[in-house]
Structure 1
């Protein structure tokens, strides 16, 4: 099935039609700067622009950076506060005239990795951890998504733990990989207190440097780098549409 996958982020909105059966893009990725303020009408206009760019007339799958339940934004993350309570899929369908689905962006990245990347065929509880500006997470049991598992929001010193252990913090504080790995290891230990995964898959920008920090992690749970990398959000957003129609 061919679906326009769109990955909405705090700084950029990326999209391209995806042929999921053949696991390939149908063109070059197109990127738009996220408008400021990132209000619903402004973001919907960007989605419409992506549709026009590709002359798209089929379904749309969107990854959105906050807690999403049945296509509805339950919070607003790093977007404008007016997103809370918005039915994202219906808003974009109204703007484009096309069927749409919406899921959490980290869940989308995890879907791509579990279906087409390092998590394919893994059994048990798999935690896909994306480490970049923040820490996103997708949790899967025998390949099935457990949605909106926001592990980066674990409290630490009255703040979300991602503000202590994200890759952006490593850069801002000029930490060595060893120094940062101590923080990330602390994060993993907290995850294991909650749910004890059978496998970790590490994505996001930090995954390109696994060789620099993996040796400092003390967890006994197997860890591998993600394979879908920068494509994960778009591919997973498209997968989210398939999942939506499968539930009907």
Structure 2
């Protein structure tokens, strides 16, 4: 596997990038961040990505992986919520390969975070099925089986007790309803029990900013499956994108 790759994480407010040491999963040098252009059209965002790799001094033979806040099916954006609607139907791999002047590989942001946790974080060397969830505005998910990603799962949108799961159990829901850790944990219990029943995973990894306070809520959950906090946190998207780009480039 290539020892260095570049990861770029595209979000609604900022585009972030860094070079990644694929042996350790750590950044090489500084992370670069540029505001997401408005309107956030494909060409405008691609030019920002070009500016990031130029500032990082990314060599022409270094693979580039790009995360998106949307499902990516065979390189193409299926639908878009957090960037300009003109992204829908765009083949990101082709666009970025043209603008960046090198082969580029796009994937969903939650999938990238999941791959990073399996390759370098809390799920490293865990065989079988790992489900990584990110608790935040919604609930993102990544399902990885023996190191192979099952892309574009949307387990935050499972219907549980007549509700979209993330509308009841996300961190955002905890905040707007001012739920105590105990009350929120009851909602998480219902969510993770349901996912456990569907998949019988070997490990749950919980990411998102709230995972920094994992001791407040993870011990309150009663599951058969081990459940642990994520390790990479805000570096996971970039690291996972770089890791997958290097694997794809082999």
> TM-score, structure 2 length as denominator?
0.91
Query: What aligned pairs does 1:1-248 form with structure 2 within 5 A after superposition?
Result: 1-57=3-59, 58-156=62-160, 160-246=164-250
Structure 1 gaps of 5+ residues are none
8 Å Cα contact 2:181/2:217 also seen in 1: yes
**Divergent runs of 4+, >4 A:** 156-159
Shift, 1:156, TM fit:
4.8
Distance in 2 (CA, whole Å) between partners of 1:36 and 1:169 is 28
Distance in 2 (CA, whole Å) between partners of 1:195 and 1:125 is 8
Structure 2 gaps of 5+ residues are none
Q: What root-mean-square deviation, in Å, do the aligned CA atoms of Structure 1 and Structure 2 show?
A: 1.8
Distance in 1 (CA, whole Å) between partners of 2:223 and 2:173 is 22
8 Å Cα contact 2:15/2:36 also seen in 1: yes
Distance in 2 (CA, whole Å) between partners of 1:82 and 1:157 is 35
- Give the direction of change, closer, same or farther, for the CA distance of 1:48–1:223 in structure 2 (3 Å limit): same
8 Å Cα contact 2:139/2:156 also seen in 1: yes
Shift, 1:201, TM fit:
0.7
> TM-score, structure 1 length as denominator?
0.92
The secondary structure found in structure 2 opposite 1:119 is coil
Shift, 1:15, TM fit:
0.8
8 Å Cα contact 1:62/1:240 also seen in 2: no
Shift, 1:4, TM fit:
1.3
